[in-house]
Structure 1
């Protein structure tokens, strides 16, 4: 029986097939390796495609027997399950090439990975004594070589305290920017295709990662207490940062300064599996200021209830709804 797949899933598998041909090429670079890792972590759909690949691995036996010498051809829009078995196997092959063959061809040690769960914070001391503090639900890849110190922020938010080493630049790569430190401390948060960079000490250079054709790549220099937002459209203008608020998460705090309640609830959702629902637009647009304890969500609900006379309706063990007070 034929089985069709959503268009986005087809596009994800087509992208994976493109990675296969790239990794088969002799000129595949370390940037290709990092970009591949970013693609895998950028969207839950990419990981779902990988889950399918792993599920089908046993069905296929081994990708070693695939006819790699045959050129990849465009498949019709509605593919059979048999056709997608081949696509999934090709995705498996791309992972094998990326994870094993490419590091050997570049003569470098496999990267180290560090990550935190939802609600967790962790400080990692790297081999050069630089420190990285990971915020909730964050994952990084660390690859140190003789001539460079490369970190890829795959998801989440991290604070970097960098030891100076002129002979080995310290660079953090995100989906939209490369951030090079010059003996400094800075915070990076990636979300929804955006990258927020806040410098607390020293200087960093920010470079556009994937520039559109037809114009030079954008670069910017950020000093202490400056912030910049990068996206796939380029680099935004730098501006003065609210540094205390941006790094308050390290102390388990969320500092809100006239923040819409809906945005505050969205920030809290990063740190807990509990859900806070809002009843209507009037409640959602209430502006909130204060310092909130990220480790104790019940105290946040109590503060909101008292400050705005809101009614808190508990729907189940993990879900509450904020309502306007009854008249």
Structure 2
């Protein structure tokens, strides 16, 4: 989200973008201040902002949603504006997401998992929307994780097995480990053996099976905040899932969920925690 959002199609779309950000659970005080300044740029900005705020207030309220079918023409256009905004956002996101894959030897699309065997016999299991390249030399085997997450099972070889993932470099020739890259940052989970991360030596994690359950098609949560559960789920499907407020986002969630049925996770949350979900094009809102 740019510091001062610009209209995609018109001010209506920009106002919707602001509402998505402000209700995402990640908006900062600075974001809210920028929004207030944006609202005050002109009378047209203010009108677009007020309409977007009213629309967001209607999400999840059955009676209000029913009234959308009889409101004046100017308000009805928001339905198509939402769809247009979200489709454009998805196209932009898809283009960005494909960029690492264009430079990679191996990649997966959103929701796809794939296991590949490398030239030296090493096995790599890629998670959703992930990409990596590999380069062999006489003194090492170098994997560049360009995006996403992968589980590495290096084959025996005198050359070190090294994974480069932005700011982190992992060496784990005798280990089984996963690396997850987010921007230039990376997190490492060792499932077996020991791996060196920079100057640190990491041993196998006691909850490695749960943290790498994605390779078996499962997501396992034990008292994780709902906002973190939803952030994980978003990695495996197109579109966005938003939570109505921060208090709900802090709700602790436990359970084992099937990655091959991401919508089933939302249904389970509805039933187990008495939540409601409103579905819009490329968007689901929990409240």
TM-score by length of 2: 0.62
- Cα deviation for residue 242 of structure 1 reads 1.9
Which residue in 1 is equivalent to 2:18?
none
Q: Is the 8 A contact 1:187 1:199 kept in 2?
A: yes
Which residue of the other structure, out of 154, 165, 168, is the alignment partner of 2:157? Answer: 165
Name the CA distance, whole Å, in 2 between partners of 1:266 and 1:186: 22
Structure 2 unaligned spans of 5+: 4-91
Which residue in 1 is equivalent to 2:170?
179
Which residue in 2 is equivalent to 1:156?
148
Answering whether residue 107 of structure 2 is matched by residue 115 of structure 1, we say yes
- Cα deviation for residue 173 of structure 1 reads 0.7
Deviations 1:48-95 (A, max 9, x none): 8xx9xxxxxxxxxxxxxxxxxxxxxxxxxxxxxxxxxxxxxxxxxxxx
What is the root-mean-square deviation in Å for CA atoms of aligned residues? 2.3
Name the CA distance, whole Å, in 2 between partners of 1:192 and 1:253: 24
Deviations 1:176-201 (A, max 9, x none): 12111132210100114321111111
Q: Is the 8 A contact 2:168 2:185 kept in 1?
A: no
- Cα deviation for residue 281 of structure 1 reads 2.0
Deviations 1:236-291 (A, max 9, x none): xxxxx521221000011111111111111111011100322211222211110001
Which residue in 1 is equivalent to 2:6?
none
Name the CA distance, whole Å, in 2 between partners of 1:254 and 1:145: 37
SS at match of 1:182: coil
Q: Is the 8 A contact 2:257 2:265 kept in 1?
A: yes
Query: Structure 1 residues 315, 125: CA separation in 2 closer, same or farther (over 3 Å shift)?
Result: same
Which residue of the other structure, out of 122, 133, 136, is the alignment partner of 2:125? Answer: 133
Query: Structure 1 residues 264, 112: CA separation in 2 closer, same or farther (over 3 Å shift)?
Result: closer
Deviations 1:110-147 (A, max 9, x none): x9711111111111101111100010111101001222
The 4+ residue runs of structure 1 with deviation greater than 4 A are none
Higher helix share: 2
Name the CA distance, whole Å, in 1 between partners of 2:267 and 2:184: 33
Alignment of 1:18-167 (within 5 A): 113-166=105-158
Name the CA distance, whole Å, in 2 between partners of 1:206 and 1:158: 16
Which residue in 1 is equivalent to 2:201?
221
Which residue in 2 is equivalent to 1:29?
none
Name the CA distance, whole Å, in 1 between partners of 2:283 and 2:186: 30
Which residue in 1 is equivalent to 2:284?
320
Which residue in 2 is equivalent to 1:15?
none
SS at match of 2:196: strand
Q: Is the 8 A contact 1:163 1:184 kept in 2?
A: no
Which residue of the other structure, out of 247, 250, 265, is the alignment partner of 2:230? Answer: 265
Aligned length: 191
Q: Is the 8 A contact 1:182 1:202 kept in 2?
A: no
Which residue in 2 is equivalent to 1:252?
217
Which residue in 1 is equivalent to 2:195?
204
Which residue in 1 is equivalent to 2:270?
305
SS at match of 2:171: strand
TM-score by length of 1: 0.55
Q: Is the 8 A contact 1:118 1:270 kept in 2?
A: yes
Structure 1 unaligned spans of 5+: 1-5, 7-43, 52-110, 208-218, 226-240
